[in-house]
Chain A
């Protein structure tokens, strides 16, 4: 039933190393994908997005990769910093239904100093 899945509930990485967060989806009609970041006691905030016409989008230390054939996307954070410790949600939407985002369960990232 979950159309967007984040199979790793948590990830621990050393400061300065790469963090890779993964997300899989089942709905082939999804054509826009987003990552949100959430700190405790705050709402999620938008981080980075990618449309299905691309396979990579980069913004500073954050890069999102999209593999449409595998229905898989990943978020790379390089280098990881302790301030990146948060819950990361991936989300997806269909063309023509841009108001409706389907979120995954989230992955808790801990970056150790």
Chain B
């Protein structure tokens, strides 16, 4: 199993440009999560999908951020326009359902390090 795949691994862009981050979850996993890691706030959940449907996007910072999951094997996180304060590491994670309502183990990708100049 290849695990969660994210691309690109590094992205450097200029303020005002559009940035698109990509994620391929583990095959068979039906939940997908986007996180942002910063020194100040640690790991913040931005949005998560269940069966390709957005369930909770309360962590999305503002309208400049949008996420889509057109099918079970692909998701994108887009920032338009990007700002220097968006610089962070963005992680995608996926999980599969378990019985009993117990939290499902999330498997993380290697992350995309975004730098906005």
Using a CB–CB cutoff of 8 Å, the interface residues on chain A facing chain B are 2, 6, 32, 34, 36, 41-46, 49, 51, 89, 91, 93, 95-96, 98-106
B110→A99 contact, CB < 8 A? no
Question: Which of B33, B44, B103, B104 has most A Cβ within 10 Å?
Answer: B103
Given A43-B109, A43-B111, A99 and B56 contact (CB-CB distance below 8 Å): yes
Question: Chain B at the A interface: mostly helix, strand, loop or mixed?
Answer: strand
A106→B43 contact, CB < 8 A? yes
Expressed in whole angstroms, the Cα–Cα distance for A45 and B109 within the complex equals 9
Q: A45-B107, A99-B50, A106-B43 are in contact. List 10 more A-B contacts (CB 8 A).
A: A36-B108, A43-B4, A43-B107, A43-B111, A44-B43, A46-B105, A46-B106, A93-B103, A100-B45, A104-B42
> Nearest residue in B to A42 (C-beta to C-beta)?
B110
B side interface size, CB within 8 A:
28
Expressed in whole angstroms, the Cα–Cα distance for A1 and B42 within the complex equals 13
B91 contacts across to A, CB distance below 8 A: 43-44
> Nearest residue in A to B109 (C-beta to C-beta)?
A43
Expressed in whole angstroms, the Cα–Cα distance for A49 and B107 within the complex equals 14
> Nearest residue in A to B43 (C-beta to C-beta)?
A103
Question: Chain A at the B interface: mostly helix, strand, loop or mixed?
Answer: loop
B101 contacts across to A, CB distance below 8 A: 95-96, 98
A99→B102 contact, CB < 8 A? no
Chain B, residues 80-117, CB within 8 Å of chain A (1/0): the string is 00000000000101010000011111111111000000
Contact of A49 among B31, B40, B103 (CB under 8 A): B103
A101 contacts across to B, CB distance below 8 A: 33, 45, 103, 106
B56 contacts across to A, CB distance below 8 A: 99-100
Expressed in whole angstroms, the Cα–Cα distance for A2 and B44 within the complex equals 10
B104→A99 contact, CB < 8 A? yes
| Interface members, chain B 26-82 (any A CB < 8 Å) | 31, 33, 35, 40-45, 48, 50, 55-56
Expressed in whole angstroms, the Cα–Cα distance for A35 and B113 within the complex equals 23
Expressed in whole angstroms, the Cα–Cα distance for A51 and B100 within the complex equals 12
B48→A100 contact, CB < 8 A? yes
Expressed in whole angstroms, the Cα–Cα distance for A101 and B104 within the complex equals 10
